[in-house]
Amino acid sequence: MPEIKFNKIQSYLWEIPKQGGMRVPARIYATEKMMGAIQSDNAPVQAANVAHLPGIVKYSLAMPDIHWGYGFPIGGVAAFDAEAGVISPGGVGYDINCGVRLMASKLTRAEIQPRMKSLVASLFRSVPTGVGAQGELRVSSKVEKRALLGGAKWAVQEGYGSEEDLEYIEENGCVAGAETAAVSERALERGKNQLGTLGSGNHFLEVGYVSEIYDAEAARALGLQLEQVTVIIHCGSRGFGHQVCDDYISVMNRAVQKYDISLPDRQLCCAPIKSPEGRQYLGAMRCAVNFAFANRQVIASWTRDAFASALNMSKNEIGLRLIYEVAHNIAKMETHLVDGKKMRLCVHRKGATRAYAPGSHGIPAAYAAVGQPVLIPGDMGRYSYVLVGAQGAMTDTFGSTCHGAGRAMSRHKAKKVARNRFIAQELAAQGIVVQASSRRTLDEEIPEAYKDVSTVVDACQMAGISKKVAQLKPLGCIKG
């Protein structure tokens, strides 16, 4: 592809015009200051490559946390005509329905900070973490398939949480159209002992508090107040989702040849949505989406147990209430206005969050006046953010915004930077208690390995695709 050239549309928006085989322009949401780092890992090339795919509508989009990924950039959003477009595993990612859950308690920072060591230890005992982690919840293939069809609803029926939780999960914790027959035996085997496990890498469970409020009305609607203790759970579909992606990349590579689809990058392998291969992938992907919803629901239940045990308080006294849960890696059938006309689309969000504006269909009634909550985790040393969807997302980004800070350095480089340092001690000096299954994880996930998430959310607010509500600061964290 020719050298990438950018046209500046706004102070927060850049466009790569159509060239070569691009069917639409590519657009990147970022400030001028951010663009140097964004260009350094060639992620804009991936955004331009996505624009070659059949049936893509309007633009290939990238959020301010864009960085290099498999096929699509992480932070990529693309919508395809539901009738004439394609579905691509690279546009969803390996960790299908990696997502974030936010819970808020009745407790304050002052009440909990002196007991953080025992609380973090209790959480680490209760929630299995790390590569290949297996939980206490061992299920048969028959029961696992029920979880794949029922998602968080299945978990609630099994005693993990309450019906009220379901109201505050994207898609109410279960997507329709899951097809267990489309899932391989290998995926089922990898997943059956991983429900209720956190995993490794950038996945975490963090106890924090509300440090700043930017929008008092939205904060009241969400039930957030200064100094309130919160919990963020960030994880996905574990080995099950990874295997589903792996299985269907092979299927899609054959489909590209079968349907004579020309690609600038073989990692964009895909199939027509209406094809047998496309329908099979959607059925399997939805199983993984539901696996992740069930996984986070179980983890949340064990988190409530760990709080009660460590603090010697009743769950009612602690009051860990689900604020919301969002998906980051997903493809969904949605209806959006395109050039003034309603259009059925398959929206790929890879490292991006749905951000529906006030009054939109599909968000909890309690949040209708302020918009869908958007949960943006940062790194374990600084802060995370709660946002709400804004009208610009509905008109410009197919109801989407950023999903996190985005990496600023590779895991290999982070380990080199962290060499001869003691990251847990550095964080403890900041008042943050951290426990991980390995020192390697802490080294790879040092705070400076990530962009400052405040610059990412500020760019999204400037663009009018989401709006800041509150900042959360960490007190304790467990990682794989």
Q: Strand (E) positions, 17-89?
A: 26-29, 56-67, 74-81, 86-87
* Phi, psi dihedrals of residue 19, rounded to the nearest 5°: -155, 155
**Beta bridge mates, 288:** none
Cβ-Cβ contacts under 8 Å for 459 (sequence gap 6 or more) = 12, 29, 30, 31, 34, 64, 402
| DSSP-based three-state secondary structure for 423 | helix
Residue-range domain boundaries for the chain: 7-479
> How confident is the prediction along the chain (480 residues), in pLDDT tens digits per residue?
557 889 999 999 999 999 999 999 999 999 999 998 898 888 999 999 999 999 999 999 999 999 999 999 999 999 999 999 999 999 999 999 999 999 999 999 999 999 999 999 999 999 988 777 777 788 889 999 999 999 999 999 999 999 999 999 999 999 999 999 999 999 999 999 999 999 888 899 999 999 999 999 999 999 999 999 999 999 999 999 999 999 999 999 999 999 999 999 999 999 999 999 999 999 999 999 999 999 999 999 999 999 999 999 999 999 999 999 999 999 999 999 999 999 999 999 999 999 999 999 999 999 999 999 999 999 989 999 999 999 999 999 999 999 999 888 889 999 999 998 999 999 999 999 999 988 888 999 999 999 899 999 999 999 999 999 999 999 999 997
- Other C-beta atoms closer than 10 Å to the C-beta of 88 total 29
Whether 403 is a known active-site residue: answer yes
| CA 107 to each of CA 99, 104, 311: distance values in angstroms, whole numbers, following the listed order | 25, 9, 11
Q: Which of 203, 242, 328, 403 is catalytic?
A: 403
CATH dotted code for 7-479: 3.90.1860.10
